[in-house]
Amino acid sequence: MNTSRIEIIQGDITKQAVDAIVNAANTSLLGGGGVDGAIHRAAGPELLAECRTLHGCRTGEAKITKGYRLPARFVIHTPGPVWHGGGSGEEALLASCYKSCLTLAAENGCKTVDFPSISTGVYHFPLEKASRIAVSTIAAFLKEHPELERVRMVCFDGRTKAFYDRALEELT
């Protein structure tokens, strides 16, 4: 698999000047803690105002807004699955999050997209499984979409980054 357009970095996703950043949201799309809280704080109240017009989003699907005060042009909001042990379709739903976000990004002309580690915070999705699903879903999408130039996983901490680094190595 050619993974040259996938990168793993450690950092704060709210600081990234890319076409779109992804928000690990909840189904209300009305904000929360973790990366969701950080994105809303950095984007300013206009982001919440636009989110109110969207009337929520199903788990595994995605909706797009403007980035307002963020350096990113768009925010793509996706509610990841809560981990309930793996028997409730969590793996397919997580793959669907990545695919739905990339589909929206491509439809909106984005060439650079940054993801946080969806569902591995308060939603407790196991990191090893989540990292493998993320990089394999992104790689499969990139294969079909040469117009996307670069997709990054922006990991907040070194432990998370180590899992994504390993998952990407396994793929190559």
Our CA angle for 11, 137, 78, nearest 5°, is: 60
Distance (Å) of CA 122 to CA 35, 68, 95:
10, 26, 18
**Smallest distance from the beta carbon of 3 to ligand AR6, in angstroms?**
21
Kindly state whether residue 126 participates in binding ligand AR6, applying the rule CB under 6 A: no
Q: Name the segment binding ligand AR6 (CB under 6 A); options: 10-18, 45-53, 67-75, 103-111.
A: 10-18
What number of other Cβ atoms are within 10 A of residue 13's Cβ?
A: 27
Q: Has 165 been annotated as catalytic?
A: no
Scan residues 66-85 and list those touching ligand AR6 (CB under 6 A): 80
The verdict on 35 binding ligand AR6 (CB under 6 A) reads yes
- Burial of residue 80 (number of CB atoms within 10 Å: 0-12, 13-18, 19+): buried
Interface with ligand AR6 (CB under 6 A), residue from 8, 22, 24, 93 = 24
Regarding 119 and contact with ligand AR6 (CB under 6 A), the answer is: yes
Q: Does 34 bind ligand AR6 (CB under 6 A)?
A: yes
Angle at 80 between CA 168 and CA 7, to 5 degrees: 25
Catalytic, out of 36, 114, 157, 165: 36
C-alpha 102/C-alpha 166 separation (Å) is 22
In the complex with ligand AR6, the residue whose CB is nearer, 5 or 31, is 31
CA distances from 11 to 14, 27, 108, 161 (A): 9, 25, 25, 10
Please list the active-site residues: 36
Chain positions contacting ligand AR6, by CB under 6 A: 12-14, 24-26, 32-36, 38, 80, 116-123, 154, 156-157, 160
